[in-house]
Amino acid sequence: EVQLVESGGGLVQPGGSLRLSCTASEFTFSSYWMSWVRQAPGKGLEWVANIKQDGSEKYYVDSMKGRFTVSRDNAKNSLYLQMNSLRAEDTAVYYCARGDSSAWDGTYDIWGQGTMVTVSS
Amino acid sequence: DIQMTQSPSTLSASVGDRVTISCRASQSISWWLAWYQQKPGKAPKLLIYKASTLESGVPSRFSGSGSGTEFTLTISGLQPDDFATYYCQQYNSYSRTFGQGTKVEIK
């Protein structure tokens, strides 16, 4: 079954760091753009970042530029999100999602189950 | 960033109703718009891409239309499984954005 599984969420203090992982299975991970999307409790979806198939292009929402870094390891079928200088407003469920297999990232047809990040003292 | 505005925020409807949700972009996004359905505690599910193309496996009662800045998701004959929150998403720019969501509730 085509699947994405996130891990690495948890409770972290304000100002702290956390690294999320997303492991893909049953599809050619290296052929797809990948993205992170988050959802604060009771709120809507917020796109965070994406990364091209070979990691050569990365894009971020303005509010997270400089604090969050997206990366991937195609040999391990894994996507990562390094989050630094975390704030209370970063508290959310973080989803990884599969994008397009072309040169331009498109829509997200496969999603993980999400991992919860709570930023609190 | 391109802003996406959905209306209404909440919609009360009955089984069998025809439901329409609107999504407006702050600038033209051509046809680069998708619609997702999300149920509580679950990941979103892709319904429609390129404004009007139905994702494989999605029932034909769902349809999308529009281009430029104005888009619509229509559910023709609401089913019990359709009560959920719906989001539009633009993918015209490098920075993607979602609408704030429309919750479809049981009347």
**How confident is the model over B49-61, as pLDDT tens digits?**
999 999 999 999 9
- Top residue of B29, B71, B96 to mutate, by most chain A CBs within 10 Å, is B96
> What is the residue-wise DSSP string for B56-93?
TT--TTEEEEEETTEEEEEEES--GGG-SEEEEEE-SS
Give the least confident one: A54-63, B19-28, B31-40: A54-63
Distance between B14 CA and the closest CA of chain A, angstroms: 24
Q: Give the pair of three-digit tokens for residue B16.
A: 């069998």
What is residue A75's predicted lDDT score, i.e. its pLDDT?
98
Tens of pLDDT, residue by residue over A14-71, are 999 999 999 999 999 999 999 999 999 999 999 999 999 999 999 999 888 899 999 9
The span from the CA of B66 to the CA of B68, in Å, is 7
Question: Which of B8, B14, B62, B15 has the alpha carbon at shortest distance from B34?
Answer: B62
Using DSSP, state whether A66 is helix, strand or coil.
Answer: coil
On average, the pLDDT of chain B sits at 96
Q: CB distance from B35 to chain A under 8 Å?
A: no
Distance CA A58, CA A65 (A): 11
Contact A61 B95 (CB under 8 A): yes
Picking from B47, B50, B88, B91 by the largest number of A CB atoms within 10 A of its own CB, the best residue to mutate is B91
Sign, Cα dihedral of A58, A45, B52, A1: positive
